[in-house]
Chain A
Amino acid sequence: MAEKVFMIALSPTMEEGSILSWKKKVGDAVKMDEPLCEVETDKASMEYLSSQEGTLLAIVKDVGTSAKVGDIIAVIGEPGEDFSALVAAPAPAPKAAPAQAGPLAPAPRTPAPVAVADASGRVKSSPLARKLAAEKGVNLTDVAGSGPHGRVVKSDIESFTPAVEAPRPAVGFAPSSLGASPLNDERIPVSRKRQVIAKRLGESLFTAPHFYLTLGIEMDRLMEARERINGQRKEKIGLNAFLLKFLAEALKRHQPLNSTWEGDFIQNHSSIDLGVAVAQPDGLITPVVRNAGAKGILQIEAELKDLIDRARNNQLKPEDYTGATFTISNLGSFGIEEFTAIINPPGVAILALGATVKTPVVGEGDALVVKKIMKVTLSCDHRVVDGAVGAGFLTELKRMLEDPYQVLL
């Protein structure tokens, strides 16, 4: 019997996915666990492995379209089977209302009428009203329905006057007066991933009360040690692997920094799962080195290399980038001296690393000495981490990085 193939959550936070490609054509045989299609989730592109066997009878969601989790994307069954009943789906939800006018537009005096949509987002309307709306180019979602249960009827369309979209306020000079501009006025659709970034970081910054602790760390000894070690190796070990190791050691001594705020309790974590923010052209991703406290620098380096490679090729799986208990973000390579980062849930703190810069420092006997200083800023969720707790952790980290032997203690 023909069965629907549903979009499933390919990542823990996925609510919707776009079909990037179909690996099977209509008529192809599909085996269990065979890749059916490639889906762009909120974080990565993933292969959708079939959990059904049979013949691909229909593709409901074409390449480039997106499907909510639970939406039917295809039909699998016996060849020649009638599956029309399965794909007789309800009308697609109407598109979102057009974008509001620019920020300088005067606020409308009365609130715009809004159509009553049912739970599925469908606006009830008479067939005639739909036809008239299509002819007049009226978006049904903009029309307040006067019929039973908010049904939009003929008279509603006839009396509808669209809100005039205010012209966008001019910004700077008119492009024509400047000649060709390297910039443009395009509207870029928001990708799944960018939506997730926007949602999660917004939630984090607006719900977790952040505070920031900054200090400078002398990196001379650690750099020396790294140079000495790398001098004896063909493959050099990156600074981040060293930093993660020391970070893990510092976290071992400061449980509150390796926990999660759960509202009515605080969840401590025994595993130190360190997220590393990695820039990709389409947005940030944070692959995670699991249980870093139990790993040596070489292993951390190897895992980090693999994760970053895969991150750049969009091949991370959800388990590779979710659930970091602590995260670092390093903008030192850009020459950024110091910055503040937004906490990456479910962690309660994030460490922002600046560039290591040669700096005159007042040393012993008030002598000026040149030191390699890296400024770090710890963002803490005050619901879990108080100022003194954060400061205690940060000074411990500083002590270890400045005098690596401290780790042995």
Chain B
Amino acid sequence: MAVITFREALRQALDEEMTRDKEVIVMGEEVAQYDGAYKVTKGLLDKYGPDRVLDTPITELGFTGLAVGAAMAGIRPVVEWMTIQFGLLAIDQLINNAAKFRYMSGGQFKFPLVIRGPNGPAEFLGSQHSQSFASYFVHVPGFKVVAPSTPYDAKGLLKAAIRDDNPVIFLESEMSYGHKGEVPEEEYLIEIGKADVKRAGTDATLISFSKPVLMCLTAAEELEKQGISVEVIDLRSLRPLDRETVYASVRKTNRAVVVDEAWPQASVGSWIQAEIMKDCFDDLDAPVELVASEDVPMPYNHALELEVQPTVAKIVAAVKRVAYKEKE
């Protein structure tokens, strides 16, 4: 099986889907001539031409609205936001049009629209460009939201997202584009709404999505050396949420830690934490913990920048608390 990067997996997904269906187009800032800010769309302009790979002006609200209209007309646009941070400018088009019209038109319109781009903190980006906005989209009925952590999942989910007739928000991570993993040659899709058990364990469940999943796997290895067997669940889909897989694991291990690189208040992580406590109450041996970013704007100082985010050490400590392996 080929070992490729996360960005290559995304590129393959776009390439394959554009070949399969000529209604699939790619648009965004610098996606054509510059091959994309993170080189995800590399080579697509040459292969599919300027009618299907469009460089847009630096007007997020404008080109996102254009994509919403195109989707209503039957095109399947894949919009790249250079980062989700810039997408804040365009969020009205998504929430008030894309997430609503299928419902408000009684199903007459479909929205085969994918919005993709890097979300969450990277490094040296300062307060304004280091934010995780997953909850902004997960909050809204009418969207599907996915956030893969591996090249394999990224490819399968992006292909599924492109084929979906609903607006799908596809959350990536700048720090993951170079991350490598095995991806099969043959075509595959990953169903939106299915979580994946990335590591099996018996003593506690770590639940996360996107980049922090890798941190959870490192923490699980660390904990195994200390005699604590940890199951790691990669949600992959945030909306719809695969409660079944999460709850089955929590009911097995009786302890859970949710890891989310967003701020703790009203976050996807805090919501999942609440769902587990409500639905798995009688199976819990400890309160569900949340490892989140600290409730502060991202500091520019690099040491602080790393320290306010979830770390392997913080995850290890939280698991030990819920497993009662460390006295308070």
Contact = CB atoms under 8 A, between A and B. Distances in A.
Interface of A: 126-131, 146-148, 153-155
Contacts, number: 29
B285 A128 contact: yes
Contacts of B324: 146-148, 153, 155
Contacts of A130: 282
B128 to A, nearest CB: 39
A107 to B, nearest CB: 32
A59 to B, nearest CB: 28
Interface of B: 254, 281-286, 324, 327-328
A23 B328 CA distance: 52
A153 B328 contact: no
Contact of A154 (B254, B281, B327, B328): B254
Contacts of A155: 324
Contacts of A148: 324, 327-328
B282 A153 contact: no
A192 B307 CA distance: 61
Contacts of B281: 127
Contacts of A131: 282-283
Nearest to A128: B285
Contacts of B285: 126-129, 153-154
B67 to A, nearest CB: 47
Chain A contact residues: helix, strand, loop or mixed: helix
B282 A147 contact: no
Contacts of B327: 148
B207 to A, nearest CB: 18
A130 B327 CA distance: 21
Nearest to A131: B282
A130 B285 CA distance: 9
A127 B287 CA distance: 9
B55 to A, nearest CB: 56
Contacts of B254: 128, 154
B17 to A, nearest CB: 46
Contacts of A146: 324
A91 to B, nearest CB: 13
A127 B282 contact: yes
A128 B328 contact: no
- Interface centre among A126, A130, A147, A148, by most B CB within 10 Å? A126
A126 B328 contact: no
A153 B284 CA distance: 9
A188 to B, nearest CB: 36
B29 to A, nearest CB: 50
A16 to B, nearest CB: 32
A94 B201 CA distance: 35
A126 B280 CA distance: 12
A155 B285 CA distance: 9
Nearest to B327: A148
B251 to A, nearest CB: 9
Contacts of A128: 254, 282-285
A134 to B, nearest CB: 10
A148 B323 CA distance: 11
Nearest to A126: B285
Given A127-B284, A147-B324, 9 more contacts: A126-B285, A128-B282, A130-B282, A131-B283, A148-B327, A153-B285, A153-B286, A154-B254, A155-B324
A405 B214 CA distance: 106
Nearest to A147: B324
A130 B283 CA distance: 10
